[in-house]
Every structure is written in C-alpha cells, then in structure tokens.
Amino acid sequence: MKMIKNSIALVFPEVMFLMSAANEDQTEGDIGEMGARLAQEINTHIQQYCPGNSLAKISIIAHSLGGLISRAALPHLEEHKSKMFNFITLSSPHMGYMFNSSTIIDAGMWFLKTWKKSISLEQMKMTDYDSTGCIESCFLFKLSQEKGIEWFKNIILVSSYQDMYAPFDSARIQISNKKDLLA
C-alpha cells in the first residue's frame, strides 16, 4: 500500500494521505468494531488536517480485509458522504470465503479460526450466524445491507484468478454458480 501511496503522490502532489494504523494489531477481531475504529481515525485526521471546508474529496484504497473494514467504516462517515469520490479495493473478499476453491486455504483458515479464535475469519467464512442458522444473520450479509458504498462516484473492485486467498467472484461482488466456482 505504501508503494501505491508513493505512486499517487508523484502524480498528485497536492493529495493528502492517511495510512491507517487503527487496526494493525487487532485484525483477528470483529470487522464491525475495526470499521468503527477506522472511521474514528478518519474523522480525527480530517479534524486535524482539513480545517473548515478544505476537504475536497475522500478516496479509499484498501487491500484484502481492509476492504471489508473500509465498508464497515462507511456508515460512521455519513457526515462526509458528499465528499466520497473513489472506492478501490484490491482482492477484498466482499462476499466472504464461502466458496473458496482452494482446499489448502480452507484448511489454513479453519486452523487459524479455531486456534486463534479469529472473529474476522469466522465472519469472512460466514459461519458467524445466530442460533437460527440463517445466512441473513451473518456479518457480511448485514454489511451488504449497510449504506455507504453508493456515496462514491467511482467504485473499482480488483480481483485476480491467480489470487489464492480472496475468491475471484467475491472480490468482484459477482454471484456465480457454485459449480463454476469449484471448477
């Protein structure tokens, strides 16, 4: 992400950046809570460095879990919705890992979810449903119903078939046939 920041800074030297650190040591926690922390960090940055009406646009560039955390932050940033410009995610599992085609990744995620008690992995695997067992009670389903993404002028979701971590369709928010995902 620092390389992307540096490249953008060369082309647009007037742009101000926030390289978030609010969740660096807490990525095993709840994605919703991480989103609230990110929103607080963004609001603090805006208050400190963008006095009055000097804030022109807000663009968010996120990778992997950061894309989900960014989406979870959006409802907390409604006061800035008119400033939202670009939303770019790189290999973010927007629709989770439910149909991940790699058994090695599935096994590793099961191990981490079990051993580290990772709430975020449970949320991304969509196994965090309530006692009804209904998929609509999963965090990612609820996140898909939240406001915020529609505020952006441009939305770019980058994915790659070679990415073994974020399923191709999940990173693009594209619903495919299950048999196509497992082929």
* pLDDT per residue as tens digits for the range 108-165: 666 666 666 789 988 988 888 887 878 899 999 999 999 999 999 999 999 988 877 7
Q: Is there a contact between 73 and 39 (Cβ–Cβ < 8 Å)? A: yes
Q: pLDDT, tens digit, for every residue of 41-58?
A: 999 999 999 988 899 999
Residue 181: predicted pLDDT = 47
Provide the domain count of the chain.
1
Q: Is there a contact between 125 and 100 (Cβ–Cβ < 8 Å)? A: no
* Residue 100 included in any domain: yes
- The pTM score is 0.86
* Residue 57 included in any domain: yes
Give whole-number Cα distances, 77 to 58, 84, 164, in Å.
11, 10, 32
* Angle at CA of residue 140, ends 77 and 27, nearest 5°: 75
* Residue 183 included in any domain: no
* Residue 148 included in any domain: yes
* Residue 109 included in any domain: yes
Residue 126: predicted pLDDT = 86
* Residue 179 included in any domain: no
183 pLDDT more than 60: no
* Residue 137 included in any domain: yes
Residue 31: predicted pLDDT = 97
Average pLDDT of the residues in 86-113: 75
Q: Domain range spanning residue 121?
A: 2-8+27-173
The string of DSSP letters for 82-113 reads GGEEEEEEES--TTTTTT---HHHHHHHHHHH
* Residue 71 included in any domain: yes
Mean pLDDT score of the chain:
87
